[in-house]
Chain A
């Protein structure tokens, strides 16, 4: 149990996918302008990360590894995740139109997102069991959510700020992103000692 909590917390804070591993930067900069969009995108990412892990972990363990096809990992995972997200979109559109309306725009964006692929591959590399892998992907999704919501707050403050002309737009956003990322470096080494 303790191990699961450590995995969850370290995925959220220490190995935060956006701010520490620098994966999924595209939606982090692209969709973080408004809090609503940031929340919608992050919820979709949490959902897809868990779904992708649930699908790819068995494929790796029961299909690729026994046949010595481990090197096909990347291409097979991309294929499976893309198909899965499309399937989810079709199902949502048919049965839960309201959810499709709020998440639908973001689902195609996620199909080839490196954060999602990163979670599934790192789950295998770390040698997690299925439950651990699911907890890790939940934590990674929550970490993404945290980063997005925090950064959309930072950006809404930036809107009203008096910024020198040369820094307006993308430059100041990148500067703000790097400072936000720096602040997460402070979590390093905290979680391990929490339960020691």
Chain B
């Protein structure tokens, strides 16, 4: 009995001393945290996508706590729901979140464009781009190795037929892919927009036509047919000014009249195309 006690007592005493020391230290040196911080953090979706412009959800929650003026509608994946919760917590006015989806400005899949070389190397667009601008004959197009698909936190991007496709139903609009694509082919548009230019080739029409049958040749037909003057051809490439684009016969005049078919409905570029190919 005595032997057990001689072992137990020192350990207990050391344990109590350590415990007391920690309690005192944590009381004395407590760092004051804003009590709203964990609540705010709980509201945010926690995808750490960075769409708000801060370093992850923790960074955004911290900014909301510390800086009075931080907008509550910056969380795109969370949408209106999160924005409403945040504005209630912080006692500021509710602001609507414009949901966004990512679209890919390239439709040069295997049927429309060809490879100029065989690429055997690292399975990464960024690496492939370093070797003569990629394997495809179009230097502006999708490299097709899926850096965006690897970066997407929601798994909304898949590779089909040599180029990336975005499933707009799963896209949360965080914009991680827009920063990942080495050719800057992906952009975020408001979820209400209906037409997208699916080409990024800035070469002259004849050159573009040689490398891809789906490319924008800069013929300016869309410019002429658009009743709102929303489309301009800049550097041999059609660019849609979404602030002017509005309801013209179900948003389709330019898409119907495009010579090469590179202007498409935004739902056609993503979700529906996927549904088709899945059968």
Q: A interface vs B, CB < 8 Å?
A: 63-64, 67, 69, 71-72, 75-76, 79-80, 82-83, 86-87, 90-91, 93-95, 97, 160
Contacts of A63 on B, CB cut-off 8 Å? 10
**Between-chain CB contacts (< 8 Å), 22 pairs:** A69-B10, A72-B7, A72-B10, A72-B11, A75-B11, A76-B10, A76-B11, A79-B11, A80-B14, A80-B18, A83-B18, A83-B19, A83-B21, A86-B22, A87-B22, A90-B29, A91-B25, A91-B29, A93-B29, A94-B29, A94-B30, A94-B31
Give the tally of cross-chain contacts (CB within 8 A): 45
CA–CA, A121 and B72, complex, Å: 54
- 6 closest A-B pairs by beta carbon, nearest first, are A83-B18, A94-B29, A90-B25, A160-B122, A90-B29, A90-B26
Q: In the complex, A94 Cα to B26 Cα: how many Å? A: 9
Is B6 on the interface with A (CB-CB < 8 A)?
A: yes
Residue pair B10, A67 in contact (C-beta under 8 Å)? yes
| Bound Cα distance from A160 to B130, whole angstroms | 15
In this complex, how many residues of chain B approach chain A with their Cβ under 8 Å: the count is: 17
Q: Which residues of A contact B26 (CB under 8 A)?
A: 90
B interface residues (Cβ-Cβ under 8 A, vs A): 6-7, 10-11, 14-15, 18-19, 21-22, 25-26, 29-31, 122, 127
Docked Cα-Cα span, A95 to B22, in Å, equals 16
Of all chain A residues, the one with the shortest Cβ separation from B15 is: A79
> How distant is the Cα of A87 from the Cα of B18 in the complex, in angstroms?
9
Q: A72-B7, A82-B18 are in contact. List 15 more A-B contacts (CB 8 A).
A: A63-B10, A64-B10, A67-B10, A69-B6, A69-B7, A69-B10, A75-B11, A79-B18, A80-B14, A83-B19, A87-B21, A90-B26, A93-B31, A94-B31, A160-B122
Interchain CB contact under 8 A, A87 and B25 = yes
Residues of A close to B122: CB separation below 8 A: 160
Q: Which of A71, A79, A90, A91 contacts B14 (CB 8 A)?
A: A79
CB-defined contacts of A95 to chain B, threshold 8 Å = 29
- Give the complex CA separation of A83 and B16 in angstroms: 11
Which residues of chain B are within 8 angstroms of A160 by Cβ–Cβ distance? Answer: 122, 127
Q: Which residue of B lies closest to A161 (CB)?
A: B122
Please give, as numbers and ranges, the residues of chain A lying within 8 Å of B15 by CB-CB distance. 79
Complex-state Cα separation, A17 to B29, whole angstroms? 34
Give the chain B neighbours of A76 by CB distance below 8 A: 10-11, 14
Of all chain B residues, the one with the shortest Cβ separation from A95 is B29
Chain B hits for A80, CB < 8 A: 14, 18
Q: Which residue of B lies closest to A97 (CB)?
A: B31
Instruction: Report how far A19 CA is from B278 CA in the complex, Å.
Output: 51
How far, in Å, is A193 (CB) from chain B's closest CB? 43
Contacts of A64 in B (CB 8 A): 10
Please indicate the chain B residues that have their CB under 8 angstroms from the CB of A87 in the complex: 21-22, 25
A59 CA to B101 CA, complexed, in Å: 62
Cβ contact within 8 Å between A83 and B22: yes
In the docked arrangement, what's the CA distance between A75 and B146, Å? 52
